[in-house]
Amino acid sequence: MNILDKIVLRKKIEIQERKSSISYNQLEKTLFFSQHSTSLKDSINSKNLSIIAEHKRKSPSKSEINFSTPTNEIIQGYQDAGAAAISVLTDSYFFGGSNEDLNFAKKNSTIPILRKEFIIDEFQIIESKSIGADAVLLIASILNENEIINLSRLAKENNLDVLIEVHTPEELKKSLNENIDLIGVNNRNLKTFKVDLENSINICNQIPKNFTKISESGLNSIDDLRILLECGFDGFLIGEQFMREKDPGSKLKELINSY
C-alpha cells in the first residue's frame, strides 16, 4: 500500500467520525457558511506573479517542516508579502494541519483561502464552506469522473472555487467539466513523492484555455517560475520552500521581488 492509499484509508475513517459528531445542518449554521466567498481564480488572474502560499507543518516525504513559527505570523506574512491566496493543509495525521488553522486564516486575511485536503466525500465540501474556505482542492488520482463531477458541482453550488490536481494526461481528461475553475499540475507523484518539473511542462499545453493553470510542488527558484510562465501557467502553489524558513512571509516576498 502506497502513502496515498494510506491517507485515503485513514480519511474514510475520519469522515465517519466527523459525521457522527456534527450534522450537515450544524455545519450550515456556522458563521462562514452564509458569507460570500472570495474567488481564487479571480485573484490568481489579477497579478503578474501569482503565488498560492501554503501553510504546511509536515508531510509524509519530509516529516517535520516547521512547527515553530506561529500560524498568525505565517498568515500575516504571506498576505503582507503579496500572496494571491493562501493554501491551508487541514489534514492532521500526515500533514500536521487542522480545520482551526484554516478558520484562523480566514478570520485574519482578506485574500482567498484554499482548503488543501484529501476530499472524497460530499460532507467535506460542506465542511470546507463552514470553516471558511473560499476554494477546495480535488485530487484526480483518488476520484473517478463521476465523483469529480458531483463534488465540483456541490462546491460551485456553495460558491466555492474548485482547483483540481492532476498528474497525468489521463487524469486531466477525466477532470474537465464546467464546475472546475483551476487545473493544478502536481510535479510530485503522490504515490512515490518523486518530483519532476517536466510534468508541468508536458501537460500544460493539453489544458484548455478557459481553465486557470497552476503548477504545484518542487518549485525552488524564480527561474523555474519564468519557464513555467512562458509555458502558459497562470500561478503557482508553493509551500515547503517558504515553510522551512523561520519567516515564511519574508521568503515569499524575496521570491516575488526577484521577479
pLDDT tens over the chain, length 259 residues:
888 899 999 999 999 999 999 999 999 999 899 988 999 999 999 999 999 999 999 988 777 999 999 999 999 999 999 999 999 999 999 999 999 999 999 999 999 999 999 999 999 999 999 999 999 999 999 999 999 999 999 999 999 999 999 999 999 999 999 999 999 999 987 677 778 888 999 999 999 999 999 999 889 899 999 999 999 999 999 999 999 999 999 999 999 999 9
Task: Please check whether residue 249 is in contact with residue 74, taking contact to mean a CB–CB distance below 8 angstroms.
Answer: yes
Length of the chain: 259
Task: Note if 128 is an active site residue.
Answer: no
The secondary structure element, H or E, covering residue 185 is strand 182-186
Task: Note if 198 is an active site residue.
Answer: no
Indicate which residue of 117, 127, 165, 171 is catalytic: 165
Range 3-257 has CATH code 3.40.50.1110: no
Task: Note if 107 is an active site residue.
Answer: no
Report how far residue 134's alpha carbon sits from residue 232's, in angstroms, rounded to the nearest whole number.
24
Indicate which residue of 186, 187, 199, 215 is catalytic: 186
Indicate which residue of 128, 152, 215, 217 is catalytic: 217
Task: Note if 216 is an active site residue.
Answer: yes
Task: Note if 187 is an active site residue.
Answer: no
Task: Note if 179 is an active site residue.
Answer: no
Task: Note if 186 is an active site residue.
Answer: yes
